[in-house]
Amino acid sequence: MLDSLKSLLQDQVRDLYSAESQMVKAIPKLAKAATNKTLRAALLAHLEQTKGHVERLVQVAELLDTKPGGKKCQATQGLVAEAAEVLEEEGEDSVIDAALIAAAVRVEHYEIAGYGSAVAMAGQLGEQRVLKLLQKTLDEEFEAEEKLSGLLMGEVLPAAGGADLVPVVKVKTKGRVVARR
């Protein structure tokens, strides 16, 4: 029942817990499929971070007098299913790596939206300890997205598109626009 802002925040924490738990299972499969060594290392590093996110969400749930489990994040389930489709594809290694990054960035964007909303709710409720824990994870999700996007633009896309292709993309992250060439 969503009868208060606190119950909504508790629900959001359960959703995030489900999302992060699903990613703990999915990331190793993505890392195994990656041929780019930097991508594989980035995914494995984010796996360790994601395990920390799960632990942090357990702490948040305790602070909010709720249990972290009991909800299935349908959005992450769909995103994981899309990523699994990439694992079934055959093709040029760098193109598959680009597809893996695209799938991972989609997840990061979803998590950023979820944590951003939860941070705002915790702030509104005056739950400072909860806010700090959620904000730490939100910052890490932004960093992961930036690292993956940088890897995509700096290594993977040039390898996938050849030397003639010079992609220009504007990415708005943390309120600033970053143009990459």
Residues 84-122 pLDDT 10s: 999 999 999 999 999 999 999 999 999 999 999 999 999
Long-range contacts of the stretch 161-164 (C-beta < 8 A, 24+): none
DSSP code, position 178: E
pLDDT tens by residue, 39-86: 999 999 999 999 999 999 999 999 999 999 999 999 999 999 999 999
Alpha-carbon distance 179 to 170, whole Å?
Answer: 4
Amino acid identity of residue 33, one-letter, is A
Determine the 3-state secondary structure of 68 from DSSP.
coil
Window from 53-57, 118-122, 125-129, 162-166 with minimum mean pLDDT:
162-166
Q: CATH code at 40?
A: 1.20.1260.10
CB count within 10 Å of CB 123 equals 14
b/e sequence 94-115, b meaning 16+ C-beta within 10 Å: bebbbbbbbbbbbbbebbbebb
Q: How high is the pLDDT of residue 152?
A: 92
Retrieve residue 35's tokens.
């041929």
- Please name which of 102, 108, 1, 99 lies closest in space to residue 46, comparing C-alpha atoms: 108
Residue 21 has pLDDT above 50, yes or no: yes
pLDDT confidence band for 179 (50 / 70 / 90): very low
User: Range of 154's domain?
Assistant: 5-180
Number of domains in the chain: 1
